[in-house]
Amino acid sequence: MTATMTPLSEVTRSDAALRMFLHGLPGVDQVGAQARAAALGTRSIKTTAKAWAIDLSIRMVDLTTLEGADTPGKVRALCAKARQPDPSDPGCPPVAAICVYPAMVPVAAEALRGSGIHLASVATAFPSGQAPLSVKLDDTRAAVAAGADEIDMVISRGAFLAGRYLEVFEEIAAVKEACGDAHLKVILETGELVTYDNVRRASWLAMLAGGDFIKTSTGKVQPAATLPVTLIMLEAVRDFLAATGRKVGVKPAGGIRTTKDAIKYLVMVNETVGDGWLDPDWFRFGASTLLNDLLMQRTKLATGHYAGPDYFTLD
């Protein structure tokens, strides 16, 4: 699908070349994408398949707290929940990662030591991304130095929407370098990108610049993750793999609250990019309330009666 005349290594040589490449990407059929997403959302996943999907979803959760009111105590409680989401059932798998602000990284690193759970930190002036590059890079280095092994950066939507694509590209590449060994997730904030065409362009831009994951949203802007937007990002990831041989992960974040929603995403992943992405290394859910609903559904399957929110921790 990459109907580009120049090889991919050439397209980032100049602003003009990058613009020509991004604007040369095929346009997204908006109605078609929405219809496809809606159709995939109607699949019925029951019994053993549902149990498998719930456990996989739990393993894919990036358990997130990104509030100004976060305290070390709250982060520790969240880490304990990440290790053992359902204390009444030792068979319940741990989540993929904890996602916190850089200031909370040392606390979380201590609480997660030895658990194998990844520690993600947002960086680069999250959530707006409106800060000088040097500040963003320092933000990133500080988070990595404190123990984060995954960095969730935000792109400069202002620069992107103004058409300064190379600036965004170089910024992502610089943050990637500052990450060192840490995984880089690039937050596109699709709720501010206005069109699906822009989502496709930003996805390619982030992947070209070296992002290991592309992530829909910060969770601070509405709409956050939606099924059509995730579909477009999954297609971009699939096409990028075909064009370059490099596999990139996808993380919808924000607004995914129910097991039913999570399973719709899993169906879409399987149907769009295949089961190679049905793995916490390649697909994540950025969520906080989703985990409780997954646990309630898991309990319902195990006990045969509906579970209630009173029986699970609030955060």
Partner 1 sequence: MPSKKKDSAPKSAEAAAAAVPEEPQRTRLAVRKTYKLYVGGAFPRSESGRTYVVADSKGNFVANAAQASRKDARDAVLAARAAFGKWSGATAYNRGQVVYRVAEMLESRRDEFVSLEVPAAEVDAAVDRLVWYAGWTDKIAQVLGGANPVAGPYFNLSSPEPSGIVAIVAPRKPTLLGLVSVIAPVIATGNTCIVISDAPRVAITLAEVLATSDLPGGVVNILTGSAAEIGPWLASHADVNGVDLTGLADAKLAVTLEQAAAETLKRVRRPAAALDWSGDPGLVPMTAFLETKTVWHPKGL
Q: CB 289 → partner 1: shortest distance, Å? A: 14
Cα gap 29→302, rounded to integer Å = 42
Q: CB 304 → partner 1: shortest distance, Å? A: 8
Q: Where are the alpha helices (DSSP H) in 113-247?
A: 133-145, 157-161, 165-179, 196-208, 227-244
Nearest residue to 122 (alpha-carbon basis) of 38, 265, 219: 219
Nearest residue to 145 (alpha-carbon basis) of 164, 119, 173, 174: 119
Closer CB to partner 1, residue 2 or residue 258? 258
Which two three-digit tokens encode residue 244? 């370059």
Catalytic residue among 136, 176, 185, 251: 251
Catalytic residue among 215, 239, 261, 293: 215
Catalytic residue among 62, 86, 139, 152: 152
**Residues paired with 184 in a beta bridge:** 151
Centroid of chain to Cα 76: 22
136 is known as an active-site residue = no
Sequence-separated (6 or more) residues with CB below 8 Å from residue 7: none
Closer CB to partner 1, residue 27 or residue 309? 309
Cβ(291)–Cβ(259) below 8 Å? no
Which residue pairs, CB below 8 angstroms and at least 24 apart, start in 269-278? 269/234, 271/40, 272/231, 272/234, 272/235, 272/238, 273/234, 273/237, 273/238, 276/247, 277/234, 277/237, 277/249, 277/250, 278/56
Residues within the interface to partner 1 (CB under 8 A)? 304-311
Closer CB to partner 1, residue 43 or residue 220? 43
Closer CB to partner 1, residue 132 or residue 306? 306
Closer CB to partner 1, residue 112 or residue 296? 296
Centroid of chain to Cα 89: 27
Q: CB 310 → partner 1: shortest distance, Å? A: 7
End-to-end alpha carbon distance in the chain: 43
Q: CB 314 → partner 1: shortest distance, Å? A: 15
Q: CB 313 → partner 1: shortest distance, Å? A: 15
Task: Give the other-Cβ count within 10 Å of 1's Cβ.
Answer: 12
251 is known as an active-site residue = yes
Q: CB 52 → partner 1: shortest distance, Å? A: 21
Closer CB to partner 1, residue 256 or residue 307? 307
300 is known as an active-site residue = no
Which two three-digit tokens encode residue 152? 């969730």
Task: Give the other-Cβ count within 10 Å of 27's Cβ.
Answer: 10
Catalytic residue ranges: 152, 215, 251
